[in-house]
Amino acid sequence: MTSLSTHFIPCGKRQVYTRALKIYLETQHLAKNNFFLCSTLLLLPTTVLCMHCTSIILLNLHGNSLRYREIKNDLGKVTTN
């Protein structure tokens, strides 16, 4: 998976995801052996640096039916755009 600090352009300006999300997910993967705990809601404040839209994105990931691998694949798609 490429680094989440990779630039992508959803709003016409450069945005940068912090690497903290990747580190957090890798830690969760190691601690929970590929699965998030059931009924756990993870609130991950991910700072977005953008000259056009200065905001904070909250990623709400439900662990009830999502496996770590699926989340990792989705994040990989975001960073390749």
Helix (H) or strand (E) holding 72: helix 68-79
Tell me the DSSP string of 9-52.
-SSSS-EEE-THHHHHHHHHHHHHTTBPPTT-EEEEEEEEE-SS
**Hey, where are the domains in the chain?**
7-79
pLDDT for position 28: 62
φ, ψ of residue 7 in degrees (nearest 5):
-80, 145
- Tens of pLDDT, residues 8-19: 445 444 444 555
φ/ψ bin of 12: left (φ > 0), alpha (ψ from -120 to 50), beta (otherwise): left
26: number of Cβ within 10 Å: 13
How confident is the model over 10-58, as pLDDT tens digits?
A: 544 444 455 556 666 666 665 554 444 433 444 444 444 443 333 333 3
